[in-house]
Amino acid sequence: MPRTQDDLLGLRAEFPSLESCTYLVSHSLGAMPRAAEERLASYAREWRELGNSAWNEGWWRLSWTLGDRIGQLLGAPPGSVVMQPNVTLAAAVFLSAVEFTKDRNRLVTTALNFPSLLYLFRGQSDRGAHVVEVPSDDGITIETERLLEAIDARTRIVAISHVLFRSSYRQDVEAIVTRARECGALVLLDVYQSAGTVPIDLAAAGVDAAMGGCLKWLCGGPGTAFLYVRPDLVDSLRPRMTGWFAHRDPFAFDTGPFEPAGGIGRFLHGTPAIPALRAAEAGIDVVTRAGIPSIRAKSVRLTSRILDRCAAEEWAVRTPREPNQRGGVVGVDPPHAYEVSRALIEERIFVDYRPGGGIRMAPHFYNEDAEVDHALDSISDILARESWKRFAEGREEVT
Ligand SMILES: Cc1ncc(COP(=O)(O)O)c(C=O)c1O
Percent helix, strand, coil in the chain, to 5, is: 45, 15, 40
CA distance 175 to 75: 18
Decide whether any atom of ligand 1 lies within 6 Å of the 325 Cβ. Answer: no
In the chain, the domains with their CATH numbers are 5-33+292-391 (3.90.1150.10), 36-288 (3.40.640.10)
Expressed in angstroms and rounded, the spacing between residue 223 Cα and the centre of ligand 1 is: 12
Residue with the nearest Cα to atom 14 of ligand 1? Answer: 28
The predicted structure's pLDDT at residue 398: 43
Decide whether any atom of ligand 1 lies within 6 Å of the 165 Cβ. Answer: yes
In what side-by-side order are the strands of the sheet with 352-354? Answer: 316-317, 330-333, 358-361, 352-354
SS3 244: helix
The predicted structure's pLDDT at residue 1: 55
Expressed in angstroms and rounded, the spacing between residue 30 Cα and the centre of ligand 1 is: 13
Residue ranges of the chain with pLDDT lower than 70? 1-5, 394-399
Decide whether any atom of ligand 1 lies within 6 Å of the 189 Cβ. Answer: no
* Candidate from 110, 112, 116 with most ligand 1 atoms within 8 A of CB, to mutate: 116
Decide whether any atom of ligand 1 lies within 6 Å of the 80 Cβ. Answer: no
CA distances (Å), origin 128, targets 70, 98, 101, 107, 147? 34, 11, 7, 10, 21
Q: Residue 138: left if φ>0, alpha if ψ -120 to 50, beta else—which one?
A: alpha
CA-225 nearest atom, ligand 1? 10
CA distances (Å), origin 83, targets 144, 178, 271? 31, 27, 11
Decide whether any atom of ligand 1 lies within 6 Å of the 198 Cβ. Answer: no
Closest CA to 4 of 284, 285, 200, 298: 298
Q: Which amino acid is at 119?
A: Y
Expressed in angstroms and rounded, the spacing between residue 369 Cα and the centre of ligand 1 is: 28
Residue with the nearest Cα to atom 16 of ligand 1? Answer: 165
CA-91 nearest atom, ligand 1? 11
